[in-house]
Structure formats: C-alpha cells, structure tokens
Structure 1
C-alpha cells in the first residue's frame, strides 16, 4: 500500500513497506526526481537504514558473548510500517519491535518516520524511542536515489554534486565494504562530477562532524536539480552502482556507518554508533528540495 501527499507544487508517494519514498514529483516542472527502482540496476528507491548503516564484518555483531547476524543496512527497509498519522501533506509511519526483529536485534524500540510536504520541500524526521531500562545502541540513515539525468536528452555525466559550505572534509575510504580509517584523508573538491568512474571504488563517504551541510545535484544544461540539507548527520554517503551504471545517484545522510576493517564487532563499540539512554527519544531530520 502506498500513500500520497500533495499540494499545488509537488506530490510525494511513500510505500508502507519500508516507509520508502518512491516518488517526488514537481507539478510545475513536470519532472520526477526519484529513481524508478529498475531492478536491472538497483531495485530500491529510498530505503530507510536501521538499526545499522552499512555492513557488519562477516554480517555479525556481538552483545557480550552472544552473536547476532544482520545483513547490510539492517531490517527496517524490508518490513511493513504502520501508518499512524495521515493528512494531505503529512504522514507518519511507525515500526515497532517484534519477536522477528529481536532475533536480529534483541531490543524493544519504536521507530517513527514523519514526512511533511511544504511547497517543493520534503521534511523527513526520524524519531526513535527506547522503552528499555538499558541503553539502546543504534544507527539510522537515509538512502534516497535521485533520477539522473532528469531529462531524456541528457547523460548522467552532465551532472555534478556539490557540498556546502565549501571546506576540507575527511574522506573515509572503503576496503571490501569496510571503513579503512588508516587511509582517511582531507578532501576539498568543490564539485564531484558524475563520470563513469566516479564510484568505481564504491561509495564516497565524508565525515560531516554533525555540522549543517547542504548537498546539491545539478546539471550543466538547465536550472533543475535537487538540494538535500542535513542539520546534524555525522556522515554523508554518495553512491551509484558500478560498472553496471543505472541512471541515478544516491545522497545519503547517515547517523552511523559501516564497520571498520579492525572492528571488535561489539555493537556498543561500533564506530559511529549512537547510544540512546533508557526511556529516552532520539530525533533528527533532513530536507529534500526539488527545483
């Protein structure tokens, strides 16, 4: 089941399964901005990453002496959410812990995702509640894939990404899908061009240090594009598949990250993990604007 939010400028469609954004359409521009989800290239649109972001070493983590298995990006993207609020321009999707989730993540939790459409802007808020009398270790992230090119007479190579404010940021390289912190470096590129080789070494990951950051997707040929703003995400991932390149690019704000090469595999020690106090609530948000 899908739900649509709409106003005079834009419409948004969200699938109850995974609370996944599947369409962001600009009525005045007559353009769709979200990737179609063609399974030949990548069969998703904008999955929610929870309770981990990225990979676990050997798909395994430990709590004390107990091992748990979890695949890349966690399980939220593959479960049905409950629609707990709906209006013309707002909706909330909620996922509750269950016996099934506890097989992989032995905690009670409540994850709510709030979508709000304001003109050509979509505000997405994550709210995680810890009802346990013990701390809750977790990560959460977004994985929206944007259609590139936006127009049929263009190529993906006509587009580029820019991060602002312009400054040096720490680039975190991957090695076999895990963070290689020993080879991190400062990166100050003003533009990241979407050439065929841009993602040959997997995702481009930057440490934002939880600073407010804006990432824009632009074309050299016209004024249409995407702007994604995060106020406090620790990391940003930029990705498209390689070498079988689909016509999309992902801009991914993350509150958490993949395991490091030298991880202990203890969840509470995981690099970038968040620890939510007993009976507390974590809230964060990001905004997508289309123009």
Structure 2
C-alpha cells in the first residue's frame, strides 16, 4: 500500500506513494529539503516554477520551501546579536541548503525524515549550533510536517520558522477564503486594513500579513477546481502571510512563527534553551466536492 521510490534526476527526488488514497508526495532533500509536488487522486495541488527550480543559484518559486531561522526579510538583510552584525537573506538559509535523508518508513505508515545541521557556513550567518529534523507524512488526503528543532549551543537560541507553500490556482477569482483574522498588514506599504476574507486580485502583488489570528485553522476553497484546502498549525505559528503575484497561477498561505525582523525586535521570537529541543507541527488537508 505504501512505497518510497528514489528518482535520480538533476536533484535526487524521493516519491512517496499511498495507493489506497491515490496520494503522492515528492521531496528533494538537496534542494532545501522541500516538497516539490503533492498530488491527491491524481490531481496536483502545488505550483512549481520549473525553470527556477532547475537553477541552483535562484530561490525556488513553488512547492513548499522551509523558512529558517527567519521568516520574511531583515532591514538591509542584517541583524545584530551581542554587538555583532550578521547577514541573513530573506527567509533564511534552510531552503537553499542540502538536507540529509534520515529515515524512510513504509511499514504501517508512510513518512520521510530529513535533517539539517549547523556548519561553518551557517555559523557565519547565524552563530548558533542546531539540528533540524523534519518528518513528512502522508495520511490519506492529509500532509503532515512534524518538526524538531534542537539547540546544540551553550546559550539560548532565538529563531523563527515557517513554510511557504505555493498552491496551484488557475482562476484566483474563484477562490474563497476562511482566514481567522479581521485585520491585515500590507507588508509592502506597512498600512493596516480591515479584512473581510477577500483580496483584490487586480493588484500586481498582494503581500499581507495576519499578525493576530483567532485560531490555528484556515481554509481555502477553489470553486473552479472543486477543492477545499485546510491549513492547521500548532500554537508556535500564530501568524499567517498571504502572497500572490498577478499573472502567476499560485497563491501562498504561509504559517510563520514570528513576523519580519523578529531577530532584531524580539517580537514573538521563539527561543530554545541550551541542549533543549522544540517539537511542532503543520498539516494540510484536501477535500474534493
């Protein structure tokens, strides 16, 4: 019923297949440990810019990139820690680095675990020793991402974590939203607006952050594709960001643990004590009508 296949391509791709639910997940550890495809009942749910994916010098637009140790960007891409200035580009480095394959399970469950450890390259940008292990699980029509973040440093480790899923949307005007927020921050202009679960897709770009959500569950219904996606995030992800670009067949609904610039401001920054770890989870479910 469950299987995992390794496909040797430009970047090795691992394909998780659940035949009972006709669900498939593709993961590329060497390209930031990201999910590149999620299909249920033979239908692709994610957008992928294949040209950018093929160019390792570019960040990927598509799939589900991992955000760590920051979400969003920093002013001038810099932050200060203990009087020293460090440089981190938007969304951090986890989405650009190769991850290692840790474990694969097909007996009784279908899951794939990848890991990322600090090294000399990361320590230049982020002066903390860490270990990340993410487990991607297919549970019928639900994708679960369990995360363990371990602090291997001898001091408390501040960080943000999040995901940047690109959902396929061919007709955005057919999207209906249930986002548990009444106010949005336009991250380009820093203006705040009341939110009524509607977006103006005539704009060239929408980049709105929902800094105060009333619960951890959101829904997006695509009337044209007859799908309803549910995003459920643990309490460590109190923020959501919605992003899309005119003329592109995607929208992003992103669970973040902290807003932009949190490493400088401390706003809702997560912190782990030396030798300790944090376990958290995010899941996406799909229903068809």
TM tier relative to shorter chain: 0.7 to 0.9
1:24 match: 38
1:206 match: 210
Could you tell me how far 1:194 is from its partner in structure 2?
Answer: 6.4
| d(CA) in 2 for partners of 1:171, 1:157 | 19
| d(CA) in 2 for partners of 1:62, 1:207 | 23
Please report the RMSD computed on the Cα atoms of aligned residues, expressed in angstroms. Answer: 2.2
2:63 match: 45
User: Which stretches in structure 2 are left out of the alignment for 5+ residues?
Assistant: 1-11, 54-59
From 247, 250, 253, the counterpart of 1:248: 250
User: Which stretches in structure 1 are left out of the alignment for 5+ residues?
Assistant: 150-154, 261-266
| d(CA) in 1 for partners of 2:51, 2:173 | 22
Work out whether 1:34 is the aligned partner of 2:46: yes
1:136-166 per-position Cα deviation (integer Å, ceiling 9, x unaligned)? 01000000101102xxxxx2222232225xx
From 167, 180, 200, the counterpart of 1:146: 167
From 176, 190, 196, the counterpart of 2:202: 196
Alignment of 1:110-125 (within 5 A): 110-125=131-146
Count, aligned residues: 263
Cα separation, partners in 2 of 1:223 and 1:64, compared to 1, 3 Å: same
The alignment's TM-score, normalised by the length of structure 2, stands at: 0.83
Cα separation, partners in 2 of 1:61 and 1:193, compared to 1, 3 Å: closer
From 268, 273, 277, the counterpart of 1:277: 273
Cα separation, partners in 2 of 1:43 and 1:268, compared to 1, 3 Å: closer
Alignment of 1:121-132 (within 5 A): 121-132=142-153
2:5 match: none
2:28 match: 15
| d(CA) in 1 for partners of 2:105, 2:13 | 14
| d(CA) in 1 for partners of 2:138, 2:116 | 21
Cα separation, partners in 2 of 1:117 and 1:24, compared to 1, 3 Å: same
Cα separation, partners in 2 of 1:171 and 1:43, compared to 1, 3 Å: closer
Could you tell me how far 1:268 is from its partner in structure 2?
Answer: 5.9
Is residue 79–residue 264 contact of structure 2 (8 Å, CA) maintained in 1?
no
Could you tell me how far 1:284 is from its partner in structure 2?
Answer: 1.2
Could you tell me how far 1:288 is from its partner in structure 2?
Answer: 0.7
SS of equivalent residue, structure 2 residue 133: strand
From 229, 234, 251, the counterpart of 2:238: 234
The alignment's TM-score, normalised by the length of structure 1, stands at: 0.83
2:174 match: 158
Could you tell me how far 1:192 is from its partner in structure 2?
Answer: 2.4
| d(CA) in 2 for partners of 1:257, 1:193 | 21
